[in-house]
Every structure is written in structure tokens, then in C-alpha cells.
Amino acid sequence: MAYGGSRHLPIDGFRLLERTARCGLISIATRCSLYVLGIVFAVGINTHAWAADSASADEAADVRAIDKVCKWGVLPGESARNSIYLGMWSYHLWGDSDYRTDNQLIGGVYRGCYAGTFINSNYDRTTSIGWQRDFYTQTREDFRLDVGYRFGIMHGYDEFSIGNSKLFPLLQFYTDVAYKQVGVQFTWVGQAVTAGFLIRFP
């Protein structure tokens, strides 16, 4: 039976069930990621508390304001190298086939602080900001491999936002593969894996 055109047809039960299941899986994955990060924080707090006790008053006074923010001692790992990120292409492990895959990222990391803007999978402008840390690095001649994470917040997601704020917690894991000053970054968060270009700078 029609209800004034296709835009008013009854809801497809299977599609609704699929969306509900997908949201539930993403929510579970996010919670598990935050639990893991909480455990890492607990270890990091103890480690950095010991390091802070051993630091001299002169060294503490010499830290610049940006370093106090970007090198937030609670977060474990080394501050990520200064980089610019250009372009991002995504693949969703499950979900709608009409998700956007060319996300047009422009972003970067400076002294361990990250910021970026991109078009998300639902075609909405999204911005993100937070901290970026490397927890594994391997070098060989001019090649360098970095594995780490970003922790912060995003703005621009309606479906998973906190209330009506469009804010969404960010916990993203990445792998950087670079030759000299250029390379590629691969990331994973929730149901999406991405790839994009990076440029290192001093």
C-alpha cells in the first residue's frame, strides 16, 4: 500500500534492524576502546608522576605553555612528530554502501597536539582536535614506521553525538609509513579504516 509516494512508505524492518545492530556494535567498540585507554592512562599516570618527582624546578619552569598542553603528562607515549595530513580515503567494514569514501582531510600535528577537518561518511563537515602519541617507532635508513593513537573529540556527527551537541569522543589508532619527509598514514576507528598522505616538518 502506498502512502503518498515512496518517501512515505513503511519502514523496512530489516534495514532498521541492521542500523540498530550497527549502532550497537559501534557503541560497544567505542566503550571498549575507552576502557582500554583508561587502563593505559592509569599506567601512564604512575609513570609520569614518578618522572615529575625526579624533575628539577628549573626544568619545570622552562616548559612553554604550548608544551604544557600538548605534552599532557597523563597520556602515555611520545609526542607525535610534526606533520601535515592531506587527503583521506575511507573503507567501512560494514554499513551502507553509499557512505562517502573521499573524505578530503586537511589536518596536522604540532608538538603532540592534533587538529583536522574532513567530510565524514555521511557527507557532513567534521572537525577534530586532541592529542597524538606514538607508542612504537622503527627506523631503517630513510624509512620510518610510527604506530600510535589520537585521543580527543570530534564535532559533526549527528548519529553518534552526545545529546544534540554533535560532539563525539575520538580514539583513533594509526600507522605512519614515511620515506624521508613524505609518507602515508593508515588509521582505524570504529568500523572505518582510512589512508591518506602525510608530510613531515621540523
Q: Give the C-alpha separation, 87 to 199, whole Å.
A: 11
Give the per-residue pLDDT at 102.
Answer: 95
- Which uninterrupted H or E stretch holds 152? strand 143-155
Contact 166, 127 (CB under 8 A): no
List, for residues 48-59, the tens digit of each pLDDT value.
444 444 444 444
Give the per-residue pLDDT at 49.
Answer: 42
Q: Give the C-alpha separation, 44 to 187, whole Å.
A: 23
What topology does CATH give the domain 57-200? Porin (2.40.160)
Is the pLDDT at 87 greater than 80? The verdict is yes
List, for residues 148-177, the tens digit of each pLDDT value.
999 999 998 877 777 788 888 899 999 999
Q: Give the C-alpha separation, 151 to 37, whole Å.
A: 9
Boundaries of every domain in the chain:
57-200
Q: Which of 47-51, 178-182, 190-194 has the lowest mean pLDDT?
A: 47-51
List, for residues 16-48, the tens digit of each pLDDT value.
445 544 544 444 554 555 554 555 445 444 444
pTM of model > 0.75: no
More confident residue, 80 or 36: 80
DSSP 102: B
The upper half-sphere exposure of residue 106, i.e. CA atoms within 13 Å in the direction of its Cβ, equals: 1
Give the per-residue pLDDT at 11.
Answer: 46
SS3 76: coil
In the numeric block, which cell numbers belong to residue 122?
Answer: 555521511
